[in-house]
Amino acid sequence: MKARSFLQEAMIAAFMLIILVCIPFVSDSSAVIDFGIRLAAFAVFATSLNILIGFGGMVSFGHALYFGAGAYSFGLIMQHLDLPIPVAFLLAVGFCATVAAIVGAICVRLKEIYFAFLTLAFQMLFHSIVVSWTSFTGGDQGLMGGLPRPPFLGLNLVEPSDLYLFSMVVGVVSLLLMRYILQSPFGFTLRMVRDNPDRAKFLGVNVWRIKLLAFVLAGSFGGIGGIIMALLVSGAFPDFTYWTMSGEAVFMVLMGGVNTFIGPVLGAALLLGFNDIITRVTEHHGLALGAIILLFALVFKHGITDFIVQGWHKLTGKKVES
């Protein structure tokens, strides 16, 4: 299968965006719009985590730090400074990138489970700060008082339909950017570092620098997920940066498939979908979701897209670009 060019992928993305944007015109339901916005936030968040897990071989348990950092920094900027949304957006992403650079510089030297624990430690440290700095962040109540949303570019994000459009565009563009990054020379050097860091070193690659760059990129895009969420709930909550949020992202990635680009997006859709359906059907959310997850772990043993790709290999004998 010949590799697609970036232009081809951009066109696919544009096509998907058009379809997504048209959905609210087909279905009038506010639940669909709500789901779409949440999906945008989590698809970006989960895919950003997979830069680390799937493509970098670095399992982070503390990725929610950036989700929360994005939400809180964006929220605080909008509440305290009189800036247009796009500017606040960029500043918030910049904040996340900076935090990721600092945390990453310390963490990426460690291997495997220690790396995972240290990222978790930093995330929970951030959580503690957020929860105790009540005067600034609202403490465990979260950022209250709502988010001012001055209209921009003809969009008024107070309107759910406008917010939906905004989230879809931001979501698709973010995914496209991450795709671009992962198909760049850096993206393949990252894969080399994942597969055989020793060999990479013997080829002259500065492994630490590559991992740090991946970490910063992952953190920045993770922040974008948080910003979308902040706009949806008109605030920011400590839960955004709690370890359960990190856990959800890990499961989205695992269930969707770590070895493909689109896996985490699918995983996000699945997990959000399951959560919604389950809460509607039964009170026993934990039992149902737990059973489903066990199914994936014990029977499929891989995420869905990995499962499909492997099956395709077996059927056709061809290799598929992921």
Give long-range contacts, CB 8 A cutoff, 24+ apart: 242-246.
242/64, 242/127, 243/61, 243/62, 243/64, 243/120, 243/123, 243/124, 243/127, 245/64, 245/67, 245/68, 246/60, 246/61, 246/62, 246/63, 246/64, 246/65, 246/120, 246/123
Q: What residues pair up with 155 in beta bridges, in sequence order?
A: 152
Q: Which of the residues 286 through 305 are near other proteins (CB under 8 A)?
A: 286-287, 289-291, 293-294, 296-298, 301
Residue 90 or 297: the one with the smaller Cβ distance to other proteins is 297
Q: Does 132 participate in binding other proteins (rule CB under 8 A)?
A: yes
Among the listed ranges 86-94, 161-169, 285-293, 304-312, the one in contact with other proteins (CB under 8 A) is 285-293
Size of the site for other proteins (CB under 8 A): 66
Q: Which of the residues 20 through 49 are near other proteins (CB under 8 A)?
A: none
Q: Residue 121 contacts by C-beta under 8 Å, 6 or more apart in sequence?
A: 62
Q: Select the residue interacting with other proteins from 33, 59, 78, 270 (CB under 8 A).
A: 59
Residue 156 or 206: the one with the smaller Cβ distance to other proteins is 206
Residue 149 burial (C-beta neighbours within 10 Å; 0-12, 13-18, 19+): middle
Nearest-approach distance from CB 141 to other proteins, in angstroms: 13
Q: Does 205 participate in binding other proteins (rule CB under 8 A)?
A: yes
Q: Which of 304, 298, 291, 302 is nearest to 265 (CA)?
A: 304
Q: Select the residue interacting with other proteins from 10, 32, 101, 117 (CB under 8 A).
A: 117
Q: Select the residue interacting with other proteins from 15, 279, 285, 312 (CB under 8 A).
A: 285
Q: Which of 165, 174, 167, 257 is nearest to 220 (CA)?
A: 174
Q: Select the residue interacting with other proteins from 22, 82, 198, 317 (CB under 8 A).
A: 198
Alpha-carbon gap, residue 170 to 183, rounded angstroms: 20
Q: Select the residue interacting with other proteins from 99, 213, 265, 309 (CB under 8 A).
A: 213
Alpha-carbon gap, residue 165 to 218, rounded angstroms: 24
Residue 122 or 164: the one with the smaller Cβ distance to other proteins is 122
Q: Does 317 participate in binding other proteins (rule CB under 8 A)?
A: no
Residue 154 or 204: the one with the smaller Cβ distance to other proteins is 204
Is residue 241 within 8 A of residue 119, CB to CB? The reply is no
Residue 149 or 191: the one with the smaller Cβ distance to other proteins is 191
- Both tokens assigned to 134: 């009540």
Q: Which of the residues 239 through 278 are near other proteins (CB under 8 A)?
A: 243, 247, 250-251, 254, 258-259
Rounded to 5 degrees, φ, ψ at 90 are -65, -40
Q: Which of the residues 134 through 193 are near other proteins (CB under 8 A)?
A: 181, 183-189, 191-192
Binding site for other proteins (CB under 8 A): 5-6, 53, 59, 106, 110, 112-114, 117-118, 120-122, 124-125, 127-129, 131-132, 181, 183-189, 191-192, 194-196, 198-199, 201-206, 209-210, 213, 243, 247, 250-251, 254, 258-259, 284-287, 289-291, 293-294, 296-298, 301, 319
